[in-house]
Amino acid sequence: MARSPKSVSTSVTDTQVVAPKHPSVVEMHGIEKSFPGVRALRGVRFDLRAGEVHALMGENGAGKSTLMKILTGVYQPDAGEIIVDGKPATMPSPRSAQDLGISIIHQELHLMNHLTAAQNIFIGREPRRGFGVFTDNVALNAKAAEVFKRMNVNIAPDVEVGGLTVAKQQLVEIAKALSFNSKVLVMDEPTSALNEQEVEHLFAVIDDLKRKGVAIVYITHKMDEVKRIADRITVMRDGQYIDTLPAATTSMAKIISLMVGRELTDATREEARNYGEEVLRVEGLNRGKHIKNVTFSLKKGEILGFAGLMGAGRTEVARAIFGADAIDSGEIYIHGSKRKINSPADAVKNGLAYLSEDRKRFGIVTGMSVRDNITLPSWSRYLSARFWMKDKALNKDAHSYVGTLKVKTPHVHQETRLLSGGNQQKVVIAKWLLRDCDILFFDEPTRGIDVGAKAEIYKLLQNLAEQGKGIVVISSELPEVLRLSHRVVVMCEGRITGELDGKHATQESIMHLATLRHANAA
C-alpha cells in the first residue's frame, strides 16, 4: 500500500540526507489549486536541482500537469510559495516564467499550423530588418536551423507546421522551448509521438543540457524512460505529494505502487482461440507513396496489431479505410460485401470506428462537455419525435460510460478541455463504444495514459474482442502490440512486409520486418 502524504516526511528526509550535487533552483511548498468542482492540488511540495532530470509521476488526474502549469505561469496557485534561485517568485504569466528562465513543453501541442516551423519557434522574438519594420526571414530560418541542428533533427525551418506529422510537430514544440536557453525546462510527455530514433535524439539533447546545468522536470508514463533518463522521482496521487526517491535504486514496482495506491492486475493476452467470420478485408489498397498494395483481413473477436516505425504508413491505412483520406485504388469488404467508403460518415454507417492518434485535433471537441462528446456520433438516437434532445437518456448513457471507463470528472457536464490527457482519451473511446461499432481501429490507444489506466484499457480491448468486436490496434510501443495482438501485421514505407502470429512474435522479429525497406508486399 502507498503511504499517505503525512507519512512520507521521514522517508523524504532520509532520501535527502546526502548533500545534493547541485543547489536547488526551484522549490515549491504547500501549493494549492482548485477548479470548479475539483480540488486539483493539496499542499504539494517539489524541488528541482541544477543539472538533474527530476521525473514527476502519477496517474492521470494526479495533478502533475497542474503543478507544472503553476510553475510556468499558466495557472496561479490558490496558496503556497515558489522559490527560484533562493528568492520568492511569482509567475503571473508564462512570459514572466520565461523571463526567470523557466519553459514548458506541453503534452498537447501549442503550435499555429499556418505558420512555418521557424515562425512558431521564435514567434514574438523574430529578427527584424528595415528599422524593425520587416521580419528578417533569412536570419529567422538560420536561427531555427541552428536549434534543429543542435537537436540532430531534419526539419526545414520554412516548412508549414500544419503539414508536418504529429511527431515532427512535437519536435518543433521542443525546439521552441530550447530556443529560450532556459535554466529550467519542463517536459510533459515529450516522447508521446516520437519513434525510438527520435527519442534517442531527444535523450542526447537532455544529457547535453544536464551537463550544462539545466534543470529538467520530466513528466512521463513510460517506465523505461524514467530508468534511462531520471536522477530522482517524485510521485503524486490524487492531487497530493506522496514521496521523492532516487531513480537508480528504486524499483518500478514500488513507483507503480505509490502511483496507483493499489495492486495492479496485469492484463495479459489470452491464448489463441477460434475466431468468428471475417468482418473486414482490404485488398490492394493504394494511396500515393504512403500506401502501397496493402492487403489484410480481420476476423470477429480478433485483435490485429499494426506495427512499424514512424512513417511506415499504419495511420495512413486506417485513415484511408475510414474515409478520412481518398484512396487511389483498392477494395474494402465488410462482412463479405464490397463497400464504398468516401467519408468518415460512410465508415460509421458501415459499423467502423476510428480512435485517432491525435485526440485533440480529431477525437474530441474540447469546448463541449464530456456528455456531448461521448454521445456526439450517436445523437440521432436521442432525438424525440418533436426533434428535442432526450436529456435523461443522454445523461444516463454518458454516466454509464464515465463509470465503466473510470473517467475522472466531477460530472458529465464538465468541459472536456479541463480533463487530463488520459481522461480525454477515455472520452474518445467511450463515444465509439456507445456507437456500438463492429470494427474498431485504435490508433495509439494509450498515448499519454498512465500505467494504471493502461491496464484498464488493455482489459477493455480484450473484453470487446470477447464480445465479438473486430479490433485493429496501431501502436508505436512494441510491448503493447505484443501484449494485445492475436496477429501482428508489420509495415515499412507504406507496404506490409510481414505477418506474425501473436503468440510467437517478438520485438526482434517485428523490428526485422519493420526495417525491410525494399520488401515486396506480403
**Does 20 have pLDDT greater than 60?**
no
Quickly state the pLDDT bin for 448 (edges 50, 70, 90). low
To which residue does cell 474515409 refer?
Answer: 323
Between helix 196-211 and helix 166-178 the angle, nearest 10°, is 10
The answer to the question of residue 52 being in a domain is yes
- 362 and 466 housed in the same domain: no
What local confidence, expressed as pLDDT, does residue 519 receive?
A: 44
Quickly state the pLDDT bin for 455 (edges 50, 70, 90). confident
- 344 and 367 housed in the same domain: no
Task: Look at residues 421, 437, 425 and name the one whose alpha carbon lies nearest to residue 469.
Answer: 437
Percent of the chain with pLDDT over 90: 45
- 362 and 491 housed in the same domain: no
Percent of the chain with pLDDT over 70: 89
To which residue does cell 512570459 refer?
Answer: 95
- 228 and 343 housed in the same domain: no
Quickly state the pLDDT bin for 18 (edges 50, 70, 90). very low
Helix (H) or strand (E) holding 449: none
- 299 and 366 housed in the same domain: no
The answer to the question of residue 463 being in a domain is yes
Task: Look at residues 455, 460, 429 and name the one whose alpha carbon lies nearest to residue 354.
Answer: 429
- 487 and 505 housed in the same domain: yes
pLDDT in tens, 85-130: 999 999 999 999 988 999 988 767 789 999 999 999 999 888 888 8
The answer to the question of residue 140 being in a domain is no
The answer to the question of residue 183 being in a domain is no
Q: What does pTM read for this prediction? A: 0.58
What local confidence, expressed as pLDDT, does residue 8 receive?
A: 37
User: Given strand 79-84, what is the order of strands in its sheet?
Assistant: 38-49, 24-35, 79-84, 87-88
**CB-based burial label for 273 (10 Å; 0-12, 13-18, 19+):** exposed
- 296 and 252 housed in the same domain: no
Which residues 6+ apart lie within 8 Å of 208 measured at CB? none
Spacing of C-alpha 191 from chain mean position: 8
The answer to the question of residue 115 being in a domain is no
pLDDT in tens, 267-313: 455 555 567 899 999 999 999 988 999 999 999 999 999 998 777 89
Distances (CA, A) of 53 to 50, 189, 217, 218: 9, 14, 6, 6
Quickly state the pLDDT bin for 452 (edges 50, 70, 90). confident
What local confidence, expressed as pLDDT, does residue 121 receive?
A: 93
pLDDT in tens, 221-243: 777 888 899 999 999 988 999 99
**In the numeric block, which cell numbers belong to residue 510?**
517485428
What local confidence, expressed as pLDDT, does residue 106 receive?
A: 76
CATH value at residue 483: 3.40.50.300
Candidate ranges 189-193, 424-428, 462-466; pick with highest mean pLDDT? 462-466
Distances (CA, A) of 94 to 24, 45, 190: 21, 20, 19
Question: CA dihedral defined by 63, 67, 69, 75, rounded to 10 degrees?
Answer: 100
Q: Buried b / exposed e across 145-162, counting CB within 10 Å, b at 16+? A: bebbeebebebebeeebe
Quickly state the pLDDT bin for 314 (edges 50, 70, 90). very high
- 367 and 474 housed in the same domain: no
Q: Lowest-pLDDT range, 14-18, 196-200, 288-292, 335-339?
A: 14-18
pLDDT in tens, 325-382: 999 999 999 999 999 999 999 999 999 999 887 777 777 888 899 999 999 888 788 8
505 versus 387: the higher-pLDDT residue is 505
Positive or negative torsion for Cα 248, 511, 320, 328:
positive
- 258 and 269 housed in the same domain: no
The answer to the question of residue 139 being in a domain is no
The answer to the question of residue 157 being in a domain is no
What local confidence, expressed as pLDDT, does residue 268 receive?
A: 53
What local confidence, expressed as pLDDT, does residue 16 receive?
A: 41
- 461 and 391 housed in the same domain: no
The set of long-range contacts for 143-152, using a CB threshold of 8 Å and a minimum separation of 24, is: 143/118, 143/179, 144/117, 144/118, 144/175, 144/179, 145/118, 147/121, 147/175, 147/178, 147/179, 148/117, 148/175, 150/178, 150/205, 151/175, 151/178, 151/201, 151/202, 151/205, 152/201, 152/204, 152/205
> How many domains does the chain fold into?
3
What local confidence, expressed as pLDDT, does residue 1 receive?
A: 39
Query: Can you tell me the mean pLDDT for 187-193?
Result: 79
**In the numeric block, which cell numbers belong to residue 428?**
474518445
The answer to the question of residue 382 being in a domain is yes
**Does 207 have pLDDT greater than 60?**
yes
- 337 and 458 housed in the same domain: yes
What local confidence, expressed as pLDDT, does residue 193 receive?
A: 67
Domain end, chosen from 407, 436, 465, is at 436
- 308 and 441 housed in the same domain: yes
Domain end, chosen from 237, 263, 289, is at 263
pLDDT in tens, 479-509: 889 999 999 999 988 999 999 998 889 888 8
pLDDT in tens, 461-484: 898 899 899 999 999 888 889 999
Residue 379's domain comprises 358-436
Task: Look at residues 58, 48, 67 and name the one whose alpha carbon lies nearest to residue 231.
Answer: 48
Query: Can you tell me the mean pLDDT for 27-45?
Result: 91
**Does 522 have pLDDT greater than 60?**
no
Domain end, chosen from 236, 263, 290, is at 263
61 versus 155: the higher-pLDDT residue is 155
